[in-house]
Structure 1
């Protein structure tokens, strides 16, 4: 009888760490049914507890999965950065002199699956495919096309009863998924078209977008003779080919394992990347923020929702404009001095902790200071009397944390999120080696202060929490929960917010709206102040109008804060930031969300934005000439006043 070993975090369950280091595990969708379907087959654990005592994780495991992991000899704790733990797991269940025992490792991390394969284990990228792995049936990357008259809800019914796990919804007509051969058969028998793109094995999916215009000659030749109405498909194919070719060549130059194309995607291409292929480090020429998106498997991805339709919100809270009292409170708490002080501490100008010795060199997900910044921000939230929870997840070999702080309201119908990403990068910087020759960015040694991206947004979230504390101390109380979230690893393909939103959906969170601030301090000297409000969603349905309604609320608040600021409202799939910041992880779940930024993107006429010119370089500092704390305060005040009003203050 085969033995199954499961990873925990992101595979079996989503983890929550409280301020007292207590751990809660929330089982992921379909996991309980899968475990029970395996019957009497021995089931064990192969998981890294990180800094937590194994006993703490074991207690949380047994509370979340009572009676499912009863053999302590099959529960193994420790890092999985080599094949050794997998060799040891295989050896532990192999009686001397007996026939080999088949072992299956089920884990979301592609590198861990690669190590498990080296150790002779069969692997599954999701628990849904545990039996397929046991029976040595392949799991394939699959493009699922919906025929006319069929809805995503119809696909959800079939997928949730078969060995099918979606990873991205491209449109109402196309979904990228993992599917076993039996899952593919179930889809085809239900009338869905499947386009198979190769084995999943130890790969992970990415979506890469490209801002560059298509070559006119190439496009003309491709369109010549093409049937009427096919131009969008031809354009998509051309763009996908161009992006894939560039990425494949760049990775080949670094001797990375080859990637595979999974076909056209919204604005670019889907890629399947094996363990060790650093797709996140490839930057297309002229790439705009968020050009790379890591895709996560999730059976619940087709279960769309909109928690708070705009009509109901308008009825609850009038015209949506902040009250004079809220405006006054925001003006007092959110100042250029307050924002600069927060930015200085997390970007290395001042010590991270007042009076302490440490100055932050980088908040890059690969940098040692990342965890220190997380700890300092979490402690500040705790000092404000908020309930703090840390959301751990893994990216490559790193264990990272999202930071969440909440003020809960008894009987609240939903939650308002004020968010930013706390990590940084300097991947666009120019670096040289000891001989003066150009070399790639190295997050282990190179500075990445990220004062604007997204130190400015992080500072605004901290100021928002301080503002709420003042309002609460004055006796005011919101009618909705207010949650402050700082995402990690945004620069690695929106990874942190992807994990966070996936877990929130699995937990049944009711999210009324998300207000993301991503780069709000950049304003070139002499330029007119312009704020961009990005509500555009690549996800169809009620989320579109709900997000537009949030954007409209921010747009109406801006002139109340500063009438000299020009507002650019960007909506629809043509929004250049659609899918490109952490708000997109919430659009993907059907939740209303907006991202507010400086003037980042060029206009339709081609005029360049007037935001920072130090995007992703070591020059993105508080002292940079493009860093404007006064402008950041205007943007932050506009967003915070809108969000607090939206929460009922």
Structure 2
């Protein structure tokens, strides 16, 4: 009998930690169906609840409360998965035969460790039967059209071994599949392109945000980018010699072949085809230096899909001459389908009002208050007033990161909000998103958000001999005062403002959440995990207001960018545009000196900040930023982007400019919440 060992976070359930240290587990989609399906197997746990000595007992209590007693006590193992120790212990507890054990976990590095011990692995519980059978899980692109929609694919996927990881508008889904899943999709009429084995890899979407990509060659010679299933970047320009792209039965890799695959005539699809193939060719060349670690998975809308092995970090996939946030880490979730077509959009009302509260907003959100928060977050002042600790950075890999999340949670708690830490795993690190809430029972939620982590990956670093070296996240300074200490400070000021309003007797008619996301710089990992958990819990989210870089100002005209463009059409795009209209009206009242640029079409920040994680769920979300992303001249945002010089003392750091933006965002959010 096989023994199935589940990781918890991101695999079995989403985990959050209360102010008292208690855990709450919310099962992820399709998990209960997998656990209930036959034939019966022995069930165990391999998961890390954290370093707190009390954490294993608390996690065990939450496990029983959520799933009952279906997991054998002797097969429950708590601890870090960064060495083989816990996996060896799990095999021994199961009877000593590693091949009888299956580890199911989202993190590729942990799957790699389990394989080192001899265990079988699977990247999602849906693939537990496949792992027992010994079947391979593949990355695959599944094409959509008017007849074969994401909603129809959801029906097929829910009954088979298909788990989506990315919905590319209405054109394509990147998914994990087995051969059984491929057959099920093909029998339903979908075109499926299996690409490469999942194994110990993670998937990424790499965007090419150059204004104009050169047209790809339309011949089928040796420079063609579509080389066949599992093509590594180093051979991405090779072919099988027949011009077919290497797949038996696939239409040739020519303009006509592309039109046949996408179901459209050449006259309608020529520009899109050239763009997609040019991007694929560009990414193939740009990632050639990582040929042992990166495998191209084919073109996507505005970019290319690739997978990278467990040792590859997001900084390794940086493409020269591309802009902010061009690489997005993709997470598995059955709830991504049908995506925007069914997710509720509850914007409600329109216009900007906030009668009588604007003065309170101006009193609470000031330049000194905002600058004080940024100083503490960026190491210019003690992290907690009166304490000696200052931080060097908030990089996801830094020891300072959890210290900052603890301090942020403490600040929200002191304001009287209900605080939870939404926990997730990233490359062996347990990280937390910080959520503070004023709940109005039975209502949908308005979110005011930013990202709490930082990076200095664009900095110039040298070794002891004076030679250039790469940024070392765990030790090098990454103050991130603007990116995104300024947005985080704006969220804190908004929370202080709400507390003052409530203390004065005002009450919202919607739930208000303040959420600070972790690991944004690693491909939006924290916000994707948070949005996935919110969708699994059935949360109703009316609006998300993300502040990402709001203090960079070189002088001249005060500009602000409202990024409402969504890569997913439908409700997300419509609702986000409505939020942007409200924001523009708020700026006209709360910060009339600002020139507002609203971007809804061809938005350069689409998919590049944490608001995108809500767009792919169909929720309305806007990212508010300094004049940095948009192609407007001259840009007046920070010149210290992703550098150790991004400090509160930088000449480009303007706390008054940031406070004005935070006031307008807070005014809009509180208006929508009924204050």
Q: 1:274 offset after TM fit, Å? A: 1.3
Counterparts of 2:213 and 2:115, CA distance in 1: 43
Q: Does 1:204 align with 2:205?
A: no
The SS at the match of 2:81 is coil
**1:294-373 correspondence runs (5 A):** 294-304=329-339, 305-310=342-347, 313-314=348-349, 319-373=350-404
Report the counterpart of residue 248 of structure 1 in structure 2. 288
Report the counterpart of residue 464 of structure 2 in structure 1. 434
**1:86-235 correspondence runs (5 A):** 86-94=87-95, 102-214=100-212, 216=214, 227-228=266-267, 229-235=269-275
| 1:585 aligned residue (596, 613, 622) | 613
Q: 1:282 offset after TM fit, Å? A: 3.3
Report the counterpart of residue 249 of structure 2 in structure 1. none
1:462-517 Cα deviation digits (max 9, x unpaired): 00000000000010000000000000000000000000000000000000000000
Runs of 4+ in 1 over 4 A off after TM superposition: 213-227
Whether contact under 8 Å (1:303, 1:589) holds in the other structure is no
1:187-224 Cα deviation digits (max 9, x unpaired): 01011110000111111101111222456476699999
1:123-150 Cα deviation digits (max 9, x unpaired): 1100000000000011111110124323
Report the counterpart of residue 76 of structure 2 in structure 1. 75
Report the counterpart of residue 570 of structure 2 in structure 1. 541
Q: 1:77 offset after TM fit, Å? A: 1.4
Counterparts of 2:165 and 2:635, CA distance in 1: 33
In structure 2, do the counterparts of structure 1 residues 395 and 637 end up closer, same or farther at CA, with 3 Å as the change threshold?
A: same
Whether contact under 8 Å (1:281, 1:427) holds in the other structure is no
**1:354-503 correspondence runs (5 A):** 354-411=385-442, 413-503=443-533
Counterparts of 1:481 and 1:645, CA distance in 2: 12
Higher mean C-alpha deviation, range 224-233 or range 458-467: 224-233
Counterparts of 1:74 and 1:346, CA distance in 2: 41
Q: 1:584 offset after TM fit, Å? A: 0.2
Counterparts of 1:300 and 1:132, CA distance in 2: 21
Report the counterpart of residue 661 of structure 2 in structure 1. 635
Whether contact under 8 Å (1:244, 1:269) holds in the other structure is no
Q: How many residues align?
A: 629
The SS at the match of 2:402 is helix
Counterparts of 1:248 and 1:161, CA distance in 2: 38
The SS at the match of 1:453 is helix
The SS at the match of 1:463 is helix
| 1:564 aligned residue (566, 574, 593) | 593
Whether contact under 8 Å (1:204, 1:272) holds in the other structure is yes
The SS at the match of 1:198 is strand
Whether contact under 8 Å (1:260, 1:271) holds in the other structure is yes
The SS at the match of 1:532 is strand
Report the counterpart of residue 269 of structure 1 in structure 2. 304
Q: Does 1:529 align with 2:558?
A: yes
TM-score under structure 1 normalisation? Answer: 0.94
Counterparts of 2:380 and 2:122, CA distance in 1: 46
Gaps of 5+ in 1: none
Report the counterpart of residue 623 of structure 2 in structure 1. 595
Whether contact under 8 Å (1:219, 1:235) holds in the other structure is no
Whether contact under 8 Å (1:93, 1:101) holds in the other structure is no
Q: 1:585 offset after TM fit, Å? A: 0.1
Q: 1:100 offset after TM fit, Å? A: 7.2
Whether contact under 8 Å (2:456, 2:477) holds in the other structure is yes
Whether contact under 8 Å (1:248, 1:258) holds in the other structure is no
1:356-381 Cα deviation digits (max 9, x unpaired): 11111111111111111111110010
In structure 2, do the counterparts of structure 1 residues 601 and 410 end up closer, same or farther at CA, with 3 Å as the change threshold?
A: closer
The SS at the match of 1:183 is helix
Q: 1:542 offset after TM fit, Å? A: 1.4
Counterparts of 1:65 and 1:303, CA distance in 2: 27
Report the counterpart of residue 237 of structure 1 in structure 2. 277
1:556-603 Cα deviation digits (max 9, x unpaired): 11011122210000003x100001100000001110000000001243
Counterparts of 2:360 and 2:344, CA distance in 1: 28
Q: Does 1:644 align with 2:673?
A: no
Report the counterpart of residue 9 of structure 1 in structure 2. 9
Counterparts of 1:485 and 1:216, CA distance in 2: 40
Counterparts of 1:540 and 1:218, CA distance in 2: 27
Report the counterpart of residue 241 of structure 2 in structure 1. none
Gaps of 5+ in 2: 225-252, 257-265
Whether contact under 8 Å (2:216, 2:274) holds in the other structure is no
In structure 2, do the counterparts of structure 1 residues 231 and 323 end up closer, same or farther at CA, with 3 Å as the change threshold?
A: closer
Report the counterpart of residue 625 of structure 1 in structure 2. 651
Counterparts of 1:134 and 1:282, CA distance in 2: 33
Q: 1:162 offset after TM fit, Å? A: 0.7
Higher mean C-alpha deviation, range 589-598 or range 100-109: 100-109
Higher mean C-alpha deviation, range 285-294 or range 402-411: 285-294
In structure 2, do the counterparts of structure 1 residues 322 and 244 end up closer, same or farther at CA, with 3 Å as the change threshold?
A: farther
Report the counterpart of residue 284 of structure 1 in structure 2. 319
In structure 2, do the counterparts of structure 1 residues 225 and 580 end up closer, same or farther at CA, with 3 Å as the change threshold?
A: closer
1:149-198 Cα deviation digits (max 9, x unpaired): 23211111111111100000012121000011111111010111100001
1:320-374 Cα deviation digits (max 9, x unpaired): 3132412111111001111001001110111111111111111111111111111
The SS at the match of 2:287 is helix
Report the counterpart of residue 56 of structure 2 in structure 1. 54
In structure 2, do the counterparts of structure 1 residues 417 and 81 end up closer, same or farther at CA, with 3 Å as the change threshold?
A: same
Whether contact under 8 Å (1:351, 1:358) holds in the other structure is yes
1:396-445 Cα deviation digits (max 9, x unpaired): 0111000000001134x200000000000000011111111111111122
Whether contact under 8 Å (2:82, 2:110) holds in the other structure is yes
1:286-345 Cα deviation digits (max 9, x unpaired): 3322111110000111143443444xx12xxxx431324121111110011110010011
